[in-house]
Amino acid sequence: MRIADLPPELRPRERLLAKGATALTDAELIAILLRTGIGGMSAIELGQSLIDRFGSLSRLLAATAPELEAIRGLGIAKRAELLAITEIQRRALTALLAEGTVLDSAQRVTMFLRHRFNTLLNESFVGLFTDVQYRLIAVEDFGSGALQRVAVYPREIIRAALRHNAAAVVFAHNHPSGRAEPSDLDKTLTRKLQDALNCIEVSLLDHLIVTPQDIWSFRANGLC
C-alpha cells in the first residue's frame, strides 16, 4: 500500500508532526527521508528492507556509496540522501562536543564516540585533541586493524599533538567483542603514550574503551 493511500493519522510525516519523532519506527523515519518507494514497495517497505539488508538502522546509515549503489533500484537521489544524513549527524555531534569542554561534557563525548564506533567490526583508535581550556580542537583517526588489535605508534600521536598545538588529549578505541575492559596491550600502549606525551608537556586526560553497551575509563580506574 502506498503511503498516500493510508489515513492521514497513519502517514509518517503527519505522525511525526503530531506525536514527535520518537513515535515513529526506524522504517518510518527512513521513509520520510526517502519520500517515495521503488519497484512496487512503499517508502516504509523500502526503509524496512534497507534496514533488514544492512542488519540495523545504524549500519544502514554507515553504509558506503558503493554499498548503496549495489542495491538494485536505489537511485542516485536516494543514495545521496542517505549519505548526506550520515554526514550531517557526524558534523552535528562534532559541533555539539566542541560547544563545551571535553572534561565537562561526558554525555556528549559518549554520544560522539558511540556514533563513531557503533558500526565498526574492527578496532579503531582515535584521539580527541583539546586546548588549554579542554575545548575540542580536532579529532584524528590513528588506524584500524584486525579484530581486537590495532597498531598505534607514539610518534604519530606526538606529531599530531604538535601539529594541532594541543594541550591535552583523550584517546578512545572500540572493542568489537563487546567486553569493556582493557587488555594487557591496551595498558602497555597507554603507558607508552602517556610517557611520550609527557615529553612534550601534553596531558593525557583519559583513554576510553567503547562498546555498544558501555564505556570504560582508564582515568576513572586509576590507570592514567
Higher pLDDT, residue 132 or 105 = 132
Higher pLDDT, residue 39 or 54 = 54
Predicted local confidence at residue 21, as pLDDT: 86
pLDDT in tens, 139-197: 888 876 544 456 788 999 999 999 999 999 999 998 877 788 888 988 999 999 999 99
Q: Report yes or no: 204 and 194 within 8 Å, Cβ to Cβ.
A: yes
**Mean pLDDT calculated for residue range 118-130:** 81
CATH 3.40.140.10 boundaries in the chain: 101-217
Predicted local confidence at residue 204, as pLDDT: 94
Higher pLDDT, residue 205 or 101 = 205
Strands 168-174 and 203-210: parallel
State the Cα–Cα distance between residues 114 and 2, nearest whole angstrom.
35
Predicted local confidence at residue 151, as pLDDT: 75
Predicted local confidence at residue 147, as pLDDT: 40
pLDDT tier at 106, thresholds 50, 70, 90: low
pTM of the prediction? 0.62
Report residue 208 CA to chain centroid gap: 14
Q: Scanning the structure block, which residue is given the C-alpha cell 544502514? A: 60
Predicted local confidence at residue 161, as pLDDT: 95
> What CATH homologous superfamily does 101-217 map to?
Cytidine Deaminase, domain 2 (3.40.140.10)
Closest to 57 (Cα-Cα) out of 81, 77, 37, 28 = 28
Higher pLDDT, residue 117 or 102 = 117
CATH 1.10.150 boundaries in the chain: 3-92
As a whole number, the mean pLDDT across the chain is 83
For the domain spanning 3-92, the CATH number is 1.10.150
Higher pLDDT, residue 107 or 43 = 43
**Mean pLDDT calculated for residue range 99-126:** 70
**% of the chain beyond a pLDDT of 90:** 28
Residues paired with residue 9 on neighbouring β-strands, in sequence order = none
**Of the given ranges (52-61, 83-92, 93-102), which has the lowest mean pLDDT?**
93-102
Predicted local confidence at residue 135, as pLDDT: 84
Which helix (H) or strand (E) segment holds residue 137: the answer is strand 136-144
pLDDT tier at 117, thresholds 50, 70, 90: confident
Predicted local confidence at residue 196, as pLDDT: 94
